[in-house]
Amino acid sequence: MKGFLKYLMVTVKGICMGAADVIPGVSGGTIAFMTGIYEDLVGSINNINTTALKLLFTGKFKQFWKHINGNFLLSLITGILISILSLAKLMQYLLNHQPIQTWAFFFGLIVASSIFILKGIKAWKVKDFVMLVFGIILGVVVCTLSPTETPDGLWFILICGAIAICAMILPGISGSFILLILGKYEYMMGTIADIVSGKGDLMDFLTVIVFIIGAAAGIIAFSKFLHWLLQHYHRETLLVMAGFIIGSLVKVWPWSDKKTVVLSQFPELAASGENIPAEVIDKYFGMVDMHIGGAVAFALIGFILVVGIEVASKIISSRRENTEK
């Protein structure tokens, strides 16, 4: 029963990761960091190596499953899939109709998570500040990149999968935002939605399969590099990651996406199509209700949620240590 509850909690954390990863600018890796499963995630993926393949192809399935921490990975992936298939539409609805409050909530989440990461760094040195600033600059640069027009060929979908999946194990930026930068966010969301609704054709299934293959290759390769970094440059890696998370706040600032905010309050503008002139957006943005009070409230809720998770984690950890003694 204990094992069942343990992996049920991992599934719940996977649901939270999946919910974050369907929103550009919010990282599933950040959620993994917040919920205390980050190093388990990286370590488990890192164990998918030549030793694992030998165990698999020699029929030693039990040893293979234990080697890759299969129960953990299966529970986590199950949660992520449940979230992507069931919560993506809800999140998109909230972003389209309540964008200020939704982004404010995630802003609070990310602020709190960055504080807790930095809290673990003791005895600061000049080099530490340099690494933190480097991470912040890197986060700001990546998160302010504009989406580009890119091809729909399967070769490019493979590359997109390999790059986007890395965000799952990299706190500070989401796989969805990587897809947005690569110009494939709406394309992939539309393809998945068609398959779920039963409208998908053979090409849609092939696209998703190729994306998954790219993702598998990308996460295995990148996790090994990240695992090596955490082993040899643990402090520096944490500082850069924390900076990256702070830098990503420019993307989740509640009023950064003027067009979404305007359309949520003036839906009649959407009738004119996607290509609404920037000057029209700016004009209407000056008339929108900024919902300052609501934004502050939801940011605080997000902040308090992370604090609650952190406190609960410490209590559980303390009780476990006392039990072991």
Nearest to 66 by CA among 51, 88, 82: 51
Nearest to 221 by CA among 156, 163, 177, 160: 163
Residue 46 lies in a domain: yes
* pLDDT means over runs of 10, the chain (325 residues): 74 84 68 76 80 87 89 89 76 78 84 79 87 89 68 87 76 68 76 77 87 84 73 83 81 80 79 70 80 90 80 67 62
Residue 124 lies in a domain: yes
Q: Which helix (H) or strand (E) holds 64?
A: helix 61-67
Report the alpha-carbon distance of residue 74 to residue 57 in Å, rounded.
20
Report the alpha-carbon distance of residue 81 to residue 84 in Å, rounded.
5
Report the alpha-carbon distance of residue 30 to residue 142 in Å, rounded.
16
Residue 299 lies in a domain: yes
Burial class, 77, CB count within 10 angstroms (exposed 0-12 / middle 13-18 / buried 19+): middle
**For position 210, what pLDDT does the model report?**
92
Residue 109 lies in a domain: yes
Residue 186 lies in a domain: yes
Residue 185 lies in a domain: yes
How many residues in the chain? 325
Q: Report which DSSP code applies to 272.
A: G
Report the alpha-carbon distance of residue 49 to residue 52 in Å, rounded.
5
How many independent structural domains does the chain possess? 1
Residue 265 lies in a domain: no
**For position 27, what pLDDT does the model report?**
67
Residue 165 lies in a domain: yes
By the 8 A CB rule, do 245 and 30 touch? yes
**For position 150, what pLDDT does the model report?**
74
Domain that holds residue 103: 2-255+290-324
Tokens representing 304 are 């308090």
